[in-house]
Chain A
Amino acid sequence: MTAVSLHHLKAAVASGDTAALIRYVRLHVGDGNEHVGRNEIDKAWVQALTVLLDMPEIDREFVHNTLQTKDPGTLAHLFFSLHFALVRSTGDWIHDGTL
Chain B
Amino acid sequence: MAPSDHGQQRPGLWETVNERYPGSMISKDDTVPLAPLRRPLSEARLTFVSTAGVQPKGTLPFDVVHPIGDYTFRAVPSDSNPVDLEIHQLKYPTDGANRDLNVIFPIQRLQELCDEGVVGELTESFFSFIGYNMDPDLLERTLAEDIADAVEDQLADLALLSPA
Contacts and interface: CB of A to CB of B under 8 A. Distances in A.
A75 to B, nearest CB: 13
Given A8-B23, A77-B66, A81-B65, A31 B137 contact: no
Contacts of A99: 61, 64-65, 88, 90
Given A96-B92, A98-B90, A3 B65 contact: no
Interface of A: 1-9, 20, 23-25, 27-28, 31-33, 77, 80-81, 83-84, 95-99
Interface in B14-45: 20-30
Nearest to A28: B67
Interface in B41-94: 53, 61, 63-68, 87-94
A50 B93 CA distance: 29
B20 A27 contact: yes
26 contacts: A1-B28, A1-B29, A1-B30, A1-B136, A1-B137, A1-B140, A3-B135, A4-B23, A4-B26, A5-B135, A5-B136, A6-B68, A23-B22, A24-B21, A25-B67, A27-B20, A31-B91, A77-B65, A81-B65, A83-B65, A97-B53, A97-B90, A97-B92, A97-B93, A99-B88, A99-B90
Interface of B: 20-30, 53, 61, 63-68, 87-94, 134-138, 140
Contacts, number: 92
A32 B21 contact: yes
Contact of A96 (B20, B22, B26, B93): B93
B140 A7 contact: no
A20 B137 CA distance: 21
B26 A24 contact: no
A79 B71 CA distance: 20
B23 A1 contact: no
B93 A3 contact: no
B87 to A, nearest CB: 7
